[in-house]
Chains A and B, each alone.
Chain A
Amino acid sequence: MASIKVLNGNAAVAEAVGQVHPDVVVSNPVAPATPILERIASFIAEGWLDAEIINAESAYSAISACIGASAAGGRVISATASQGLAAMHELLFVASSLRLPIVIAVANRALSAPINIHADHSDAMAQRDCGWIQLFSENSQETYDNIIQAFKIAEHPDVRNPVMVGLDGFITSHEMTNIWLVETGEVTDFVGKCNPAYSLLDSNNPVTVGSLDTPDYYFEHKVNQLQGMENARKVIKEVGKEFGDRFSRYYGYFESYKLEDAEYAIVLMSSAAGAAKEVVDELRSNGEHVGLLKLRVFRPFPHQELKEALSHLEAIAVLDRALIPGSFGGPLFNETRAALYDMEDKNLPLVFPYVYGLGGRDITIDNFRDVFRDIEEKNTEKIEIKTELAFINLRQ
């Protein structure tokens, strides 16, 4: 039996972690992810969760402890954000190259400087090439569901790859909403046991982990590493479907909202999808053919599926909550546009880059209306299209 609790996103992560039952929790507080670790620590203190908690003195140490504990065969979770995730950078590569199924909850937050503790995706997007599976959550419910699925995906024998689950800092992380919780027994049954491929504690089957690799084999090992990420495409789909079959909330690579007969659409990730759906509904009631695609899985990027979902559109606005200085659009824009280039029918939809919400800047219903109006204008005027990065809700 499912139960309903009023929880924020951070508490939802902690609830899911408590039910999944990790062996090791590594704690290094970084706002806005701190309450996740506080709550898990209280579960352990109260005796509800029997797990080892390691209080690391830095984010770098935290991910190091995660790597050690995971290589020892444990189920491992940590939580961080922003500067913490950035400080982990070097070791995120190690975790993924060693194929360790670590799960980290990331309360997505802006990067310094100037220092800012509010939401954007700069932290996760800066780690997009480090070999981690990246899931993004729209609200607390999705965060809870994603954390549970993250363990099953990460520990799948064909995947064995770390996963980071994003929730928008101080938006999803601190917003109280109703959450449908699955019963702990059913979560345990769904996720299953952690069966590591090897364990440093298994003295009967000793292995060397993290040894030197010369030009003779490094290339082969790196290509070998891709297998986990590529297999994850199938596993993420299967796990999302199984989750739906059991708990009646289905998950795929993305959520298509009124896209089928749409001419214009917005592509974005995470919490802004809520307001965007409102605008889609409103414009639909005025007879406009608009839709939304909310991406859930950024790594592995679902190029093929995205192409199929978007190819019939006239124009697309891709809204990034991160900035790449020196590029002509954000990471989501670059990936989306690249996915569409590979079409047999060369009648490509126009794709326009937007950046919004840096450092927690609000994005409102009016802003989404403006974006739809903007891409409709650009498309109907058929002016010579220039890819120019547009900023939403910026003083300019």
Chain B
Amino acid sequence: MNPGNDNDGKKWHELPGGGINPDAGNSLENYTGYLRRGEKPQFNPDNCINCFFCWVFCPENAIIVDGEKIAGINYDYCKGCGICVNECPVSHEPLPLIMVEEKIEL
């Protein structure tokens, strides 16, 4: 990475002092989905009890909610950590959340 040679981005004197980030909510600009490494959670609404455990525990806020129901997973931000699958209390098949293999496109 050699950003010193390009003219994109802010120059040192254009940054706010103290390295602060004044744009609240700008983490939406960073698509963390690329961090998945071969596995992703898959949602099946059939046995979902809508307890919202997955929604509470997801560190990326990647569980999609529609009204009062879990509606799916936002793969733009899902890192594939599997916490949602681990926290899901449903034990009878088919499970609402399972980890499935994901082919990485290079």
The residue on A at minimum CB distance from B10 is A220
Could you tell me the distance in whole angstroms from the C-beta of A166 to the nearest C-beta in chain B?
Answer: 25
Could you tell me the distance in whole angstroms from the C-beta of B35 to the nearest C-beta in chain A?
Answer: 14
The residue on A at minimum CB distance from B27 is A208
Q: Is A394 positioned at the interface, with any CB of B under 8 Å from its CB?
A: no
Could you give, for residues 1-15 of chain B, a 1 whenever the CB lies within 8 Å of some chain A CB and a 0 otherwise?
101100001111101
In the assembly, what is the distance between CA of A221 and CA of B13, in Å? 9
Do A207 and B19 touch (CB < 8 A)? no
User: In the assembled complex, which residues on chain B have CB atoms less than 8 Å from the CB atom of A99?
Assistant: 17-18
Do B19 and A216 touch (CB < 8 A)? no
Which of A205, A216, A225 is the one whose CB lies under 8 Å from B3? Answer: A216
User: In the assembled complex, which residues on chain B have CB atoms less than 8 Å from the CB atom of A114?
Assistant: none
Which of A207, A216, A217, A228 is the one whose CB lies under 8 Å from B20? Answer: A207
**Given that A215-B1, A216-B1, A220-B10 are contacting pairs, would A207 and B21 also be in contact in the complex, using a CB cutoff of 8 Å?**
yes
Q: Is A210 positioned at the interface, with any CB of B under 8 Å from its CB?
A: yes
Do B19 and A221 touch (CB < 8 A)? yes
Could you tell me the distance in whole angstroms from the C-beta of B1 to the nearest C-beta in chain A?
Answer: 6
**Given that A220-B12, A223-B12, A227-B13 are contacting pairs, would A210 and B19 also be in contact in the complex, using a CB cutoff of 8 Å?**
yes
**Given that A206-B24, A207-B24, A208-B24 are contacting pairs, would A217 and B18 also be in contact in the complex, using a CB cutoff of 8 Å?**
no
User: In the assembled complex, which residues on chain A have CB atoms less than 8 Å from the CB atom of B67?
Assistant: none
**Given that A215-B1, A216-B1, A223-B12 are contacting pairs, would A228 and B17 also be in contact in the complex, using a CB cutoff of 8 Å?**
yes
In the assembly, what is the distance between CA of A221 and CA of B3, in Å? 14
Q: Is A100 positioned at the interface, with any CB of B under 8 Å from its CB?
A: yes
State which residues 186-235 of A face B: CB under 8 Å: 197-198, 205-211, 213, 215-217, 219-221, 223-225, 227-228
The residue on A at minimum CB distance from B24 is A206
Chain B residues touching A, range: 10 to 19
Could you tell me the distance in whole angstroms from the C-beta of B21 to the nearest C-beta in chain A?
Answer: 4
**Given that A220-B10, A220-B12 are contacting pairs, would A213 and B19 also be in contact in the complex, using a CB cutoff of 8 Å?**
yes
Do B12 and A224 touch (CB < 8 A)? yes
Q: Is A97 positioned at the interface, with any CB of B under 8 Å from its CB?
A: yes
Chain A residues touching B, range: 20 to 34
Do A97 and B13 touch (CB < 8 A)? no
Do A220 and B15 touch (CB < 8 A)? yes
Interface SS, A side: loop
Q: Is A160 positioned at the interface, with any CB of B under 8 Å from its CB?
A: yes
Tell me which of A160, A213, A220 has the highest count of chain B C-beta atoms within 10 A of its own C-beta.
A220
The residue on B at minimum CB distance from A203 is B24
Q: Is A98 positioned at the interface, with any CB of B under 8 Å from its CB?
A: yes
Do A100 and B21 touch (CB < 8 A)? no
The residue on A at minimum CB distance from B15 is A224
In the assembly, what is the distance between CA of A220 and CA of B15, in Å? 8
Which of B9, B13, B18, B24 is the one whose CB lies under 8 Å from A98? Answer: B18
Do B18 and A160 touch (CB < 8 A)? yes
Do A220 and B11 touch (CB < 8 A)? yes
Q: List 14 A-B contacts (CB under 8 A).
A: A160-B17, A160-B18, A198-B18, A198-B22, A206-B24, A209-B18, A215-B1, A216-B1, A216-B3, A217-B15, A219-B12, A221-B12, A225-B17, A228-B17
User: Residues on A close to B: CB < 8 A?
Assistant: 97-100, 160, 197-198, 205-211, 213, 215-217, 219-221, 223-225, 227-228
Give 15 A-B pairs besides A205-B22, A207-B21, A227-B13 with Cβ atoms closer than 8 angstroms: A97-B19, A98-B19, A99-B17, A160-B17, A198-B22, A207-B20, A208-B24, A209-B20, A213-B19, A216-B1, A216-B9, A217-B15, A219-B4, A220-B12, A224-B15
Q: Which 3 A-B pairs have the closest CB atoms?
A: A99-B18, A208-B21, A220-B12
